């Protein structure tokens, strides 16, 4: 191969020149697709920047790539967010694979039309193959089509030998294992990974070499299985680049190949896969760069410097931690963060922890050692109980433990030097770390540990940060700065996203925002189907603050007050007065025209209450949970009934019993309620209903119906008990699906039985908050949907877009399907066929 000559690029358009940093779109300004420049066009025909082949032209005509004989590839993208114009305003003049001359017209576009309908006309000219370039007139503000614009740096002209690379480092030779050589797919994986490094990286085959960041250049090497290849790299992260790329090549660049050679196995790969999966902890999506979060190791000396000195040190640190937590609480007053910091503060004066720590101090241990031993051993105890919620408390304890430990050791919390658009990657984030994240810079996060119900997940949702948990450990090997696409809704982290994926996600997000605005504007209107059938939309809440928020979002009442959440993270039981005060405040906020459904304590299973001590159980979900526990401890239930009854008359009061599986449980609870109401001199009982969340209750709904005022279906538990799949199991998350026909049939028969006895049925499980499920639940005859607070406007709008008769048809159809995936697909098709996608209607 002869040394390649510099390549001159001609301006593809006339217009005003801009630097990429000025482009208001991180996909381009981050240079993830490639470096280059931007033209604000004044002409309307995009021309070829050099002679070459059309290597790609989008069907929509908004983007085209041209590749020259040396493998230099230039991508030209007309406008921002123009993909969603779906071709409107663009005329393609060439086809893929066509040879073109420099200056030949490639795409014509109607600038007025595009400018009117897209975000911007700014056009990107990017060197997608990654070669360095120089601007030919660096000070020019404007350019005329056909004028020389930039030149690929002659540094590239060392192609032939590949050995003149100055301080380049070379890998050991390796044998290519891929059966078909580095064809398009493995070459794309290799070039994407290479692009994650700053170093100049080349792939060598005998006397030839190619820019390893260029898909086209790699393919042009025409490698075959058994070729001896080498990687060379020059630049600050050259060693890391070589290590990652050698491993990637040895492992087949995403293709299945025979066992990797020894040398490569020893190295750690940055990524041999392009997609990692996890469980959605907080919905949304983001495109950003990886930032690995690693906490420094803390060094603890066991022996103390005297009991009184160490005692004073511990006391000081605990005090300082309490002050810091108070400050954080004050800053976040009224939010979920504040609640979590309050819980952390309580842990600081937990008598058991302090007793353990002081016991060790009196044995001559240091404050750091004593505090660390007390917190870590208690956290371990929690973890060993096989209970998801206790495991999360262990995370809180570890968080507080570390906070105090740093204060004892005098270690300052150094703020992370976060880059812009950071996607944090960590083994685990603590609630403190999550609550203090700079949302101006952090776009989302991904953790190996954690669960969808953890405090960290709750905080992520409160902060609106998309996040995934339960992702494989491979994620910890990703290089800082690597561009990734986090699609939390689908539970996916894309390690080599292509432009089309990023654009599709951006378009989707834009549409969601527009829809959200429209739904919010109509939030106070009732949810009535197109053919006049009204559905009550109420809120699932766990605090007074959420009740207030739900009312501003159009809630027509509270369909589920999870009373146990009012007192979670408390070491002591709330007094009867405090309980009564809480319920009355909530009832008052709702007023006499709105209904309030208070669920009695649903403790046990995944929800232990610290002040209701329980024996360890082998299967807590199948043990003393919900109403069973309350009937075992009648005083607890009676006290709660009295507190709830104090709010009678302030709202339309309903009491609901959780986890009912036997009719006798309902009878016993009703008797107690009647006795307490009588003792309080109440002439009228509140409405009494049960949750349908155990298959026995669903199957016997016709037997329960005459004895209740209403049913509310808890699809979260109904799904886990029907399918025998733990609702928090990270590996079963995708299968424990409430759309399973088995669950749907139980809902259908419950509604039928209730209506036969003139009783109403709500759904308060998470299924009610799913847009896809709304027509199905309406069609099955559900009367009320009690949904997660932020989704109230969306669910109301979804009801308004449907007709009851259509919903009944689709509901009948999906009951006969075989599995959840088929149900989802049928509902997706129904959604596409029936949703009105016309612009906002004024009504
Ligand atoms: C349910 O199980 O669906 C429900 C609403 O109750 P929780 O999620 O509180 O168990
Ligand atoms: Mg439940």
Q: From the CB of 728, is ligand 1 less than 6 Å away?
A: no
Q: What pLDDT does residue 294 have?
A: 77
Q: From the CB of 722, is ligand 1 less than 6 Å away?
A: no
How far is Cα 179 from Cα 6, in angstroms, rounded to an integer?
A: 34
Q: From the CB of 719, is ligand 1 less than 6 Å away?
A: no
Q: How confident is the model at residue 185 (pLDDT cuts 50, 70, 90)?
A: low
For the residues of 242-305, what is the DSSP string, one character each? HHHHHHHHHTTTTS--SPPPHHHHHSPPS-S-SEEE-EEEE--EEEEEEEE--PPPPP--SB-S
**Mean pLDDT computed over 731-754:** 91
How far is Cα 594 from Cα 591, in angstroms, rounded to an integer?
A: 6
Q: pLDDT tens-digit profile of 199-248? A: 889 998 876 778 888 766 787 777 888 888 889 888 888 888 898 899 88
How is residue 297 written in tokens?
């190791």
Q: From the CB of 774, is ligand 1 less than 6 Å away?
A: no
For a pocket test of ligand 1, which of 562, 626, 695, 722 has the largest count of ligand atoms closer than 8 A to its C-beta? Answer: 562
Q: What pLDDT does residue 389 have?
A: 58
Q: What pLDDT does residue 283 have?
A: 82
By C-alpha distance, which of 157, 128, 123, 158 is closest to 143? 123
By C-alpha distance, which of 840, 776, 785 is closest to 810? 776
How far is Cα 377 from Cα 357, in angstroms, rounded to an integer?
A: 11
Strands 90-92 and 99-100, by their bridges, are unpaired
Percent of the chain with pLDDT over 70: 89
Judged by average pLDDT, the poorest of 1-15, 544-558, 635-649, 746-760 is 1-15
Judged by average pLDDT, the poorest of 65-74, 578-587, 657-666, 770-779 is 65-74
Is residue 16 pLDDT above 90, yes or no?
A: yes
* Contact indicator for 197, 233 with CB cutoff of 8 Å: yes
How far is Cα 653 from Cα 648, in angstroms, rounded to an integer?
A: 6
Q: From the CB of 605, is ligand 1 less than 6 Å away?
A: no
Q: How far is the CA of 635 from the centre of ligand 2 (A)?
A: 22
Q: How confident is the model at residue 522 (pLDDT cuts 50, 70, 90)?
A: very high
Predicted TM-score (pTM) of the model is 0.59
Q: What is the DSSP letter of 563?
A: G
* Helix locations, 208-279, DSSP H: 215-220, 238-250, 262-266
Q: pLDDT tens-digit profile of 790-819? A: 889 999 999 999 999 999 999 999 999 999
Give the residue, by CA position, lying nearest to ligand 1 atom 4: 714
Burial (CB < 10 A; 0-12, 13-18, 19+), residue 342, is middle
For a pocket test of ligand 1, which of 389, 563, 716 has the largest count of ligand atoms closer than 8 A to its C-beta? Answer: 716
By C-alpha distance, which of 40, 44, 46 is closest to 106? 46
Is the model more confident about 735 or about 557? 557
Q: From the CB of 606, is ligand 1 less than 6 Å away?
A: no
Q: How far is the CA of 766 from the centre of ligand 1 (A)?
A: 8
Q: pLDDT tens-digit profile of 703-726? A: 999 999 999 999 999 999 999 988
Give the residue, by CA position, lying nearest to ligand 1 atom 6: 714
Q: From the CB of 717, is ligand 1 less than 6 Å away?
A: yes
Q: From the CB of 156, is ligand 1 less than 6 Å away?
A: no
Is the model more confident about 599 or about 432? 599
Q: From the CB of 559, is ligand 1 less than 6 Å away?
A: no
Q: 31-35, 127-131, 645-649 — which one is most confidently predicted on average? A: 645-649
Q: How far is the CA of 292 from the centre of ligand 1 (A)?
A: 35
For the residues of 492-513, what is the DSSP string, one character each? EEESS--HHHHHHHHHHHHHHH
* Contact indicator for 597, 550 with CB cutoff of 8 Å: no
For a pocket test of ligand 1, which of 697, 764, 777 has the largest count of ligand atoms closer than 8 A to its C-beta? Answer: 764
Q: pLDDT tens-digit profile of 527-557? A: 999 999 999 999 999 889 889 999 999 999 9
Q: Which residue out of 455, 494, 654, 740 is catalytically annotated?
A: 455
| DSSP reduced 3-state for 187 | helix
CA 824 to chain centre: 20
Q: pLDDT tens-digit profile of 373-410? A: 999 888 887 766 655 556 667 778 888 898 899 999 98
Architecture of domain 162-257: 2-Layer Sandwich (3.30)
Token pair 């088929």 is at which residue?
822
Is residue 157 pLDDT above 60, yes or no?
A: no
Q: How far is the CA of 362 from the centre of ligand 2 (A)?
A: 46
Q: How far is the CA of 828 from the centre of ligand 2 (A)?
A: 27
| DSSP reduced 3-state for 712 | strand
Measured CA angle at 162 (ends 159, 163), to 5 deg:
145
Q: pLDDT tens-digit profile of 283-295? A: 889 999 999 987 7
Q: What pLDDT does residue 358 have?
A: 93
Judged by average pLDDT, the poorest of 488-497, 702-711, 742-751 is 488-497
Q: How far is the CA of 199 from the centre of ligand 1 (A)?
A: 52
CATH number of 522-834: 3.20.20.60
Q: What is the DSSP letter of 651?
A: B
Token pair 């925002």 is at which residue?
513
Q: How confident is the model at residue 453 (pLDDT cuts 50, 70, 90)?
A: low
How far is Cα 7 from Cα 117, in angstroms, rounded to an integer?
A: 35
Is residue 350 pLDDT above 50, yes or no?
A: yes
Give the residue, by CA position, lying nearest to ligand 1 atom 8: 716
CATH 3.30.1340.10 in the chain, residues? Answer: 162-257
For a pocket test of ligand 1, which of 600, 606, 608, 714 has the largest count of ligand atoms closer than 8 A to its C-beta? Answer: 714
Q: What pLDDT does residue 729 have?
A: 67
Q: What pLDDT does residue 237 have?
A: 87
Q: From the CB of 714, is ligand 1 less than 6 Å away?
A: yes
Q: What is the DSSP letter of 612?
A: S
Q: From the CB of 211, is ligand 1 less than 6 Å away?
A: no
Non-local (6+) Cβ contacts of 460 within 8 A are 281, 282, 434, 445, 466, 467
Q: What pLDDT does residue 839 have?
A: 37
Q: From the CB of 602, is ligand 1 less than 6 Å away?
A: yes
Start-to-end Cα distance in the chain: 70
CATH 3.20.20.60 in the chain, residues? Answer: 522-834
Q: From the CB of 764, is ligand 1 less than 6 Å away?
A: yes
Q: From the CB of 693, is ligand 1 less than 6 Å away?
A: yes
Give the residue, by CA position, lying nearest to ligand 1 atom 3: 714
How far is Cα 625 from Cα 517, in angstroms, rounded to an integer?
A: 41
How is residue 474 written in tokens?
């491979």
Is residue 509 pLDDT above 90, yes or no?
A: no
By C-alpha distance, which of 133, 132, 131, 135 is closest to 147? 135
Non-local (6+) Cβ contacts of 458 within 8 A are 336, 340
Is residue 309 pLDDT above 70, yes or no?
A: yes
**Mean pLDDT computed over 190-198:** 82
Which ligand has its closest atom nearest to the C-alpha of 568?
1
Which ligand has its closest atom nearest to the C-alpha of 607?
1
Which ligand has its closest atom nearest to the C-alpha of 787?
1
Q: pLDDT tens-digit profile of 145-154? A: 999 999 976 4
Judged by average pLDDT, the poorest of 102-116, 173-187, 428-442, 501-515 is 173-187
Q: What pLDDT does residue 184 have?
A: 62
Q: From the CB of 401, is ligand 1 less than 6 Å away?
A: no
Q: How far is the CA of 209 from the centre of ligand 2 (A)?
A: 62
Q: Dihedral of the CA atoms 49, 288, 515, 501 (nearest 10)? A: 50
Nearest atom in ligand 1 to 606's CA = 10
Q: What pLDDT does residue 713 have?
A: 98
| DSSP reduced 3-state for 788 | strand
Nearest atom in ligand 1 to 605's CA = 10
Q: Does domain 7-157 have CATH number 2.70.70.10?
A: yes
Q: What is the DSSP letter of 376?
A: H
How far is Cα 726 from Cα 720, in angstroms, rounded to an integer?
A: 6
Is the model more confident about 381 or about 622? 622
Q: 68-72, 820-824, 834-838 — which one is most confidently predicted on average? A: 820-824
Q: What is the DSSP letter of 305?
A: S
Q: pLDDT tens-digit profile of 95-113? A: 988 999 999 999 999 999 9
Nearest atom in ligand 1 to 716's CA = 3
Q: Which residue out of 253, 280, 764, 807 is catalytically annotated?
A: 764
Non-local (6+) Cβ contacts of 414 within 8 A are none
Give the residue, by CA position, lying nearest to ligand 1 atom 9: 562
* Helix locations, 410-498, DSSP H: 431-435, 455-463
For a pocket test of ligand 1, which of 689, 765, 768 has the largest count of ligand atoms closer than 8 A to its C-beta? Answer: 765
Backbone angles phi, psi at 402, to 5 degrees: -70, -35
Is the model more confident about 700 or about 469? 700
Judge whether 253 counts as a catalytic residue: no
Q: Go through 132-168 and write b for each residue having 16 or more CB atoms within 10 A of its CB, e for each that does not.
A: ebeebeeeeeebebeeebbebeeebebbeebeebeeb
Q: From the CB of 716, is ligand 1 less than 6 Å away?
A: yes
Instruction: Centre a 10 Å sphere on the Cβ of residue 326 and count the other Cβ atoms it contains.
Output: 13
Nearest atom in ligand 1 to 658's CA = 6
Judged by average pLDDT, the poorest of 30-44, 443-457, 529-543, 687-701 is 443-457
**What does the chain come to in residues?**
843
How far is Cα 534 from Cα 102, in angstroms, rounded to an integer?
A: 64
* Region of 809 on the Ramachandran plot (φ > 0 left; ψ -120 to 50 alpha; else beta): alpha
Q: CATH homologous superfamily of domain 307-409?
A: PtsI, HPr-binding domain (1.10.274.10)
Strands 142-143 and 15-19, by their bridges, are antiparallel
Judge whether 764 counts as a catalytic residue: yes
**Mean pLDDT computed over 573-579:** 90
By C-alpha distance, which of 162, 191, 181, 272 is closest to 228? 181
CA max distance for the chain: 101
Strands 710-713 and 760-763, by their bridges, are parallel
How far is Cα 25 from Cα 30, in angstroms, rounded to an integer?
A: 8
Strands 228-234 and 275-277, by their bridges, are unpaired
How far is Cα 624 from Cα 637, in angstroms, rounded to an integer?
A: 14
* Region of 306 on the Ramachandran plot (φ > 0 left; ψ -120 to 50 alpha; else beta): left
Class of domain 274-293+416-516: alpha beta
CATH 2.70.70.10 in the chain, residues? Answer: 7-157
Judged by average pLDDT, the poorest of 127-131, 165-169, 380-384, 591-595 is 165-169
How far is Cα 755 from Cα 781, in angstroms, rounded to an integer?
A: 9
Judged by average pLDDT, the poorest of 604-608, 659-663, 681-685, 754-758 is 604-608
Q: How far is the CA of 689 from the centre of ligand 1 (A)?
A: 15
Q: How far is the CA of 468 from the centre of ligand 2 (A)?
A: 23
| Mean pLDDT over each residue of the chain, to the nearest integer | 86
How is residue 9 written in tokens?
């690029």
| DSSP reduced 3-state for 220 | helix
Non-local (6+) Cβ contacts of 426 within 8 A are 292, 293, 294, 445, 446, 447, 448
């Amino acid at each position: 191969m002869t040394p390649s000559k510099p390549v001159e690029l001609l301006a593809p358009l006339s217009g005003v020149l801009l630097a990429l940093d000025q482009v208001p779109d991180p996909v381009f300004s981050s240079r993830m697709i490639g470096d280059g420049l931007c033209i604000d066009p004044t002409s309307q025909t995009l021309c070829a920047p050099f002679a070459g082949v059309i290597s790609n032209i989008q069907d929509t005509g908004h983007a085209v790539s041209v590749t020259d004989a040396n493998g230099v590839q230039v991508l030209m993208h007309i406008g921002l967010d123009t993909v969603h114009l779906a071709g409107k305003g663009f005329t393609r003049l060439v086809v893929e694979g066509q040879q073109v001359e420099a200056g030949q017209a490639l795409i014509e576009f109607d600038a007025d039309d595009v400018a009117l309908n897209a975000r911007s006309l700014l056009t990107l000219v990017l060197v997608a193959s990654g070669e360095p370039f120089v601007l030919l007139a660096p000070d020019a503000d404007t350019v005329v089509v056909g004028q020389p614009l930039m030149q690929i740096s002659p540094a590239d002209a060392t192609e032939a030998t590949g050995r003149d690379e100055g301080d380049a480092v070379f890998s050991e030779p390796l044998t290519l294992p891929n059966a078909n050589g580095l064809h398009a797919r493995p070459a794309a994986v290799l070039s994407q990974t290479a692009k994650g490094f700053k170093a100049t990286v080349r792939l060598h085959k005998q006397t030839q070499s190619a820019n390893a960041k260029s898909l086209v250049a790699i393919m042009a090497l025409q490698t075959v299985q058994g070729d001896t290849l080498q990687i060379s790299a020059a630049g600050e992260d050259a060693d890391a680049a070589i290590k990652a790329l050698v491993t990637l090549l040895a492992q087949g660049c995403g293709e299945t190949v025979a066992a990797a050679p020894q040398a490569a196995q020893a190295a750690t790969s940055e990524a041999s896969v392009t997609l990692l999966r996890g469980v959605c902890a907080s919905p949304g999506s983001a495109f950003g760069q990886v930032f690995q979060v690693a906490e420094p190791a803390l060094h603890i000396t066991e022996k103390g410097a005297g009991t009184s000195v160490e005692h004073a040190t511990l006391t000081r640190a605990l005090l300082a931690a309490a002050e810091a937590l108070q400050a954080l609480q004050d800053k976040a007053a009224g939010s979920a963060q504040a609640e979590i910091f309050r819980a952390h503060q309580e842990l600081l004066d937990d008598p058991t922890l302090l007793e353990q720590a002081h016991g060790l101090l009196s044995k001559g241990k240091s404050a750091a050692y004593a505090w660390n031993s007390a917190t870590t051993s208690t956290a371990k105890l929690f973890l060993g109980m096989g209970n998801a919620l206790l495991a999360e408390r262990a995370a809180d304890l570890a968080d507080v433990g570390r906070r105090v430990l740093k204060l004892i050791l005098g270690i300052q919390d150094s703020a992370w030097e976060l880059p812009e658009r950071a996607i944090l990657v960590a083994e685990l984030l603590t609630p403190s770390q999550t609550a203090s994240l700079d949302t101006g810079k952090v776009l989302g996060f991904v953790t190996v540990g954690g669960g969808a119900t953890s405090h960290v997940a709750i905080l992520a949702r409160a902060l609106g940060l998309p996040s995934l948990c339960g992702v494989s450990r491979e994620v910890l090997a990703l290089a800082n700065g690597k561009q990734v696409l986090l699609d939390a809704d689908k539970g996916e982290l894309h390690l080599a996203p292509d432009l089309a994926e990023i654009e599709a996600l951006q378009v989707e997000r834009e549409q969601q925002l527009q829809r959200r605005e429209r739904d919010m504007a109509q939030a106070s209107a009732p949810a009535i189907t197109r053919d006049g059938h009204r559905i009550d939309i109420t809120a699932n809440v766990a605090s007074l603050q959420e009740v207030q928020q739900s009312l501003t979002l159009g809630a027509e009442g509270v369909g589920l007050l999870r009373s146990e959440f009012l007192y979670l993270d408390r070491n002591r039981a709330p007094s009867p007065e405090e309980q009564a005060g809480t319920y009355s405040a909530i009832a008052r906020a709702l007023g006499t025209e709105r209904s309030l459904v208070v669920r009695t304590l649903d403790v046990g299973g995944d929800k232990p209450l610290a002040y209701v001590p329980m024996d360890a159980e082998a299967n807590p979900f199948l043990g003393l949970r919900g109403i069973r526990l309350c009937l075992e401890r009648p005083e607890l239930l009676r006290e709660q009934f009295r507190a709830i009854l104090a709010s009678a008359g302030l709202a339309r009061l309903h009491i609901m019993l959780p986890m009912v599986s036997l009719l006798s449980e309902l009878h016993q609870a009703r008797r107690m309620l009647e006795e307490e109401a009588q003792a309080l001199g109440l002439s009228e009982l509140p409405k009494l209903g049960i949750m349908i969340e155990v298959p026995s209750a669903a199957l016997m709904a016709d037997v329960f119906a005459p004895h209740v005022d209403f049913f509310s279906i808890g699809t979260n538990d109904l799904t886990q008990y029907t399918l025998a799949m733990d609702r928090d199991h990270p590996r079963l998350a995708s299968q424990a699906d409430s759309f399973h026909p088995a669950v749907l049939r139980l809902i259908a028969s419950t509604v039928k039985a209730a209506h036969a006895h003139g009783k109403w049925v709500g759904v308060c499980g998470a299924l009610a908050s799913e847009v896809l499920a709304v027509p199905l639940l309406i069609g099955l005859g559900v009367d009320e949907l009690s949904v997660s607070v932020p989704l109230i406007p969306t669910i109301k709008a979804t009801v308004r877009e449907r007709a009851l008769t259509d919903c009944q048809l689709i509901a009948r159809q999906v009951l006969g399907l075989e599995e959840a995936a088929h149900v989802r697909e049928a509902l997706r098709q129904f959604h596409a066929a029936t949703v009105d996608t016309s612009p906002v209607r004024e009504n």
